[in-house]
Amino acid sequence: MPYYYMNTSYIIYILPGLILALYAQAKVKGAYKKYGEIFSQSGYTGATIAREILDRNELSNIPIQRVSGNLTDFYNPGDKTLHLSEGVYGANSVAALAIAAHECGHAIQDATDYAPLRIRSYLVPAAQFGSNFAFILFFAGLFFSQFLMNLGIALYAIAVLFTLVTLPVEYNASGRAKTILAGILPQGEMEGVHSMLNAAALTYVASMATALGTLFRLLALSGNRRD
């Protein structure tokens, strides 16, 4: 397979997603820095706003745990725990409250059996397996057989499906967070909430675009090998 074709396919299919990912990361860091320095008049911290939201939704059984790092927040549907990063857990910033509320949105999704979240949970093992072995099989197929290439593409398609299902999950969680916080925070702070969550949502769009671009590139390289 000509090197120039592989290089060209990288530019066509991969580069746009990478550029979008870099832009999204810059937006998140910019919003986090800006609204991480604006303190909320509500007096809540990330942990206390999360506790308030969970209790209001009859989820008092969900513990809130501090985890190391920044922007490492997540909700674990497996053991029903909410994890807030060091920069969110005890912080009173608008950014911290937005992030904490977003993670509470996932907990509420889990409690209400939100279908896309359930589907994403089912896809996790297959998506991880596909991400780990798809490229090994595909590039082995470049030298040995078309079957291995096709198998690699099929495995990677599962990982792509995971990124597609992730989009409604994340946007829905952000929508829930915005609605909840609009009833708690002063109206003037909601601009920061929207900016923070919209920037975070863009990272998932970028992940999907990168995954789709990679899948299309694998398909193009496979087709070129057959030709």
Of the residues 103, 170, 189, 191, only one is catalytic, namely 103
pLDDT of amino acid 225: 57
- DSSP H helical segments within 57-145, as ranges? 86-89, 94-111, 115-143
Active site residue 103: yes
This prediction has a pTM of 0.86
Q: 186-214 pLDDT, tens per residue?
A: 999 999 999 999 999 999 999 999 999 88
DSSP 72: -
Sorted by sequence, the CB contacts under 8 Å of residue 156 that are 6+ apart come out as: 130, 131, 134, 135, 138, 214, 215, 218
Angstrom CA distances, 165 to 13, 117, 120, stand at 21, 8, 6
pLDDT of amino acid 137: 87
pLDDT of amino acid 143: 80
pLDDT of amino acid 3: 42
Sheet of 64-67, strand order: 64-67, 81-85, 74-76
pLDDT of amino acid 5: 42
pLDDT of amino acid 38: 94
Identify the segments of the chain with pLDDT beneath 70: 1-7, 9-10, 223-227
pLDDT of amino acid 4: 39
pLDDT of amino acid 9: 66
